[in-house]
Amino acid sequence: MTAEVIYTGQLRTRAEHLQSGTVIETDAPTDNKGKGERFSPTDLVATALASCILTTLAIAESTHDINIDGATAEVQKIMASDPRRIGEIVVTISFPSSGPYTDKEKTKIEHIANTCPVHRSLAADCVRTINFNWPL
């Protein structure tokens, strides 16, 4: 088992990662009757995409000799309705000034970003927009 999730009331949950004991609490967003004081479950999905991209790039960096230390990702989640769901996730990855990156490295990074496990796990109708800010 990966995690245990408990509903704690007031549209909140407490999730514990069983292997590490790490805890994440969620709250419904303000546009859906919540307080918006914590990540919402859909915030976590959007954030997981960015985290997965960076982690997958870090795993691949030893194989492809590409340094991404210091890379950051900004995440925007855009909700859709009828039915309510994540309509689009926009991830903007900014790379450290330790570049510049060659065209071949950029192509490899973009491919990895667009094929990470979370990217491949999202519903087909969830638009994934991945932007890359390369150092000059």
Predicted TM-score (pTM) above 0.85 = yes
Q: What is the pLDDT of residue 115?
A: 96
Q: In whole numbers, what is the pLDDT of the chain averaged over residues?
A: 94
- 66-125 tens-digit pLDDT: 888 899 999 999 999 999 999 999 999 999 876 678 899 899 999 999 999 999 999 999
Burial class (CB in 10 A: 0-12, 13-18, 19+), 136: exposed
pLDDT score of 4: 98
User: What is the mean predicted confidence (pLDDT) over 42-64?
Assistant: 94
What is the end-to-end Cα distance of the chain in Å, rounded? 45
Q: What is the pLDDT of residue 64?
A: 82
Residue 24 has pLDDT above 80, yes or no: yes
Q: How many residues does the chain have?
A: 136
| Domain topology for 41-133 | GMP Synthetase; Chain A, domain 3 (3.30.300)
Can you give the pLDDT at residue 77?
98
